[in-house]
Structure 1
Amino acid sequence: MSVVETVVFEDVEGIRVGRFKGKINTTCWFYRIGRTLIDTGPPNQWKWVKNFIEERQIERVVITHHHEDHSGNGARIVEEFKIPIYAPPSSIPYLQNGYKVHLYRQVVWGRPLNFKALPTTVPLEVGEGMSIQLIPTPGHSEDMHCLLIPERQWLFTGDLFISESPQYARVDENPLQEMESIRNILEHNFRILFCGHRGVVENGYQALAAKLNYLQQLQIKAEFLYQNGHSLNEITYKLLGKERGLSLITGFHFTKKNLIKKLLEAES
C-alpha cells in the first residue's frame, strides 16, 4: 500500500500514507504549508515522500517528535535534498543517536536511519506572513511538540490528539503528562487541528477539549474502583473491556491495561 488519501484544506496540503491502510494506527499524515513540510512520513513510504518533496519543491522540514512515523525519512531527506530539518532540542538525541524500535513498529513503519537535525525553539518563518511556533506537549513522548500557526489558527498536533476517547497506551507513554499538555495547549488560540493519524479535524479545539474531559473522567472512575479494592485487571476490564488482538500483536507494548495503570499512578 502507498498513498491512501490526500486532502487540501484551506492552504494546507496533507498526504496519508501507510503499508496497511485499514486503521489510523497503521497510516499517518504529513503536511505541507507552502514549501515547508511538517513531519516526514515513515521510512517504508520513502518513494511517495520523495516524489512529494520533488514535486512541491520543499525547502525545509519541521518535525513534531522523534517517532519513526514522523521523522523516519529525515536521513534520506538530508542526504538526497540537502534541505534543513528542524526539530525540538529534546528530539535531537533520538534522531542523532537512534532509539529502540519494536518489531511491530518495524513491520508497520520500517526502520529509521540516524541523522542530524537542527534544534530550534524560536518561531520559524514559512512565508506569506506565517510562522511556526513550537509548543512543548510531552506525554505521548517526552519530546512531543505541537506546531502552532497563530496567523491562521492552525495546530499541527503530531500524536497529541489521535482520538477523543483513546483506549490504549504504550508502555512509555505518560497520559497524566499528556493531560497537562492538553490543558496547556488549550490556552492557545486555534481552530483547526491537523493530526498525524486522524487527519484534519475542523473542530480541533473542541476535539482536544473532549479528549481531556474523557481522560479526566476515565481517571476518576479508575481511581474510584481502585480505592474500592479492585485490581488493575478488573478495573481495565470494567472500564475498557478485554484486551484485543492489537495488544498481542504489539507484545503488550500497546494495551488498555497500560492506559489504566498510568492513570492510576497519581494514586501511588
Structure 2
Amino acid sequence: MIRTEAYGPVVKLQVARPVLGRPFYHTAAYWVDGLLVDTGCAHTAAEFVEATASLCVVQIVNTHSHEDHIGANGPLQRARGCRVLAHPDALAILADPRLQYLQPYRRFFWGWPQPSLGEAVGDWVETERYRFRVIPTPGHVAHHIALYEPRQGWLFSGDAYIGGRDVAARPDYDVGAIIASLKALAALPATRLFPGSGTVRDNPSEELMRKAAQMEAFGAEVRRLHGEGLSVGEIKRRLLGRETRLTYITAGHFSGTNLIRLYLDSRA
C-alpha cells in the first residue's frame, strides 16, 4: 500500500504492508528532483517501482540499512539504472541484506530486501536544482545519516527522529547518540522536517528539541528510580505500565523493558 502526497517539489511516498486488510507500520520515502530518500520495504517493492514510474529517478540515498528503508533499492536499480548512496558502513548490507539478521516479525512485516550495489555517500548530494548536506546522525543505528538542503530548509531525518513518547525500544539503540543527533539536527535552521515516519513537520527545531528534552527527562527519572533501589521491571511498570502489543508481536525485541535498560546503560 502506497499513498503519495506533494509538499511543493517534494513527493512523499507513504508505504505500509497491508495485514488483514489494514496497513501496518507506515514508513515514508521522499522524492525530489531525481533523488529518492529511502525506498520502503521488500513486500511493497513492486508497487513502489510502479508508483515511481512517472518520476525521474537518478539516485537513491538510504538514511540507513534497515529493511523498511532499502526494500526497493534492487528492483529500482535494475529497472532505472540509478545510483544508490549510503554511509560506507551500510554498503555491505545493501550488497547482501542477509548479513543483517531479521527476527521473524521483521521478515513477516517487511521482508528480505533484494541486493543493490551501493556507493559511499560524500559530504554533499547534488541534484540538478538542489544541494543536500549529509549529516551523520547515529543512535537508531550507528551508520544513520540525514540530508539537509540549506537553501530550501528541508531536513530529511530518516529514523533519527521518531515523534511521540517512547514506550518501547529495540535493544540495539543508543539513546545517548540519539539525543545528540536530535540536538545536532535541531541546531539547523530547517523549515520543514521530512521524517521516516511520514509525519511531516513545519517546526523542525521545536519538534527535535522537544523530543531530545523528553528523552533526557525520561532518562533522569529512570536513573532516579534505579538509585532508589527499584528493579528494571519495577521502573518499567512505574513509568510505562504494561508492555504494548508490539512487545508480544516482536517476541520481546521491541519492549519497554529494553527501553529502561538502554537508559540505565547510557549516560543520557
TM above 0.5, yes or no, is yes
Per-residue deviation at 1:60? 1.2
- Tell me the equivalent position of 1:9: 7
- DSSP-derived class of the 1:50 partner: helix
**Counterparts in 2 of 1:204-223, with a 5 A limit?**
204-223=204-223
Which amino acid is the alignment partner of residue 200 of structure 2? V
Query: After the TM superposition, which of the residue ranges 244-253 and 87-96 deviates more from structure 2?
Result: 87-96
- Per-residue CA distance 1:193-238 (angstroms, 9 max, x = gap): 1011143112222111111011000001101000000000010111
- Tell me the equivalent position of 1:62: 61
Per-residue deviation at 1:11? 1.9
Q: Residues of 2 paired with 1:48 and 1:97: CA distance?
A: 22
Q: Does the 8 A contact of 1:226 with 1:232 survive in 2?
A: yes
Which amino acid is the alignment partner of residue 104 of structure 1? Y
Per-residue deviation at 1:167? 1.5
- Tell me the equivalent position of 2:241: 241
Gaps of 5+ in 2: none
Per-residue deviation at 1:80? 2.0
Which amino acid is the alignment partner of residue 109 of structure 1? W
- DSSP-derived class of the 1:54 partner: coil
**Counterparts in 2 of 1:103-252, with a 5 A limit?**
103-128=104-129, 130-252=130-252
Structure with greater helix percent: 1
Gaps of 5+ in 1: none
Q: Residues of 2 paired with 1:20 and 1:161: CA distance?
A: 24
- DSSP-derived class of the 2:266 partner: helix
- DSSP-derived class of the 1:69 partner: coil
- Per-residue CA distance 1:13-49 (angstroms, 9 max, x = gap): 10112113867x7111111111111111111111221
- Tell me the equivalent position of 1:100: 101
Q: Residues of 2 paired with 1:19 and 1:264: CA distance?
A: 34
- DSSP-derived class of the 2:127 partner: strand
Q: Does the 8 A contact of 1:150 with 1:190 survive in 2?
A: yes
Per-residue deviation at 1:93? 2.0
| Segments of 4+ moved more than 4 angstroms | none
TM-score by length of 2: 0.93
Per-residue deviation at 1:53? 2.7
Query: After the TM superposition, which of the residue ranges 144-153 and 44-53 deviates more from structure 2?
Result: 44-53
- DSSP-derived class of the 1:259 partner: helix
Q: Does the 8 A contact of 1:89 with 1:121 survive in 2?
A: no
**Counterparts in 2 of 1:28-39, with a 5 A limit?**
28-39=27-38
Q: Residues of 2 paired with 1:72 and 1:135: CA distance?
A: 22
Q: Residues of 2 paired with 1:252 and 1:157: CA distance?
A: 27
**Counterparts in 2 of 1:9-88, with a 5 A limit?**
9-20=7-18, 26-88=25-87
Q: Residues of 2 paired with 1:13 and 1:176: CA distance?
A: 32
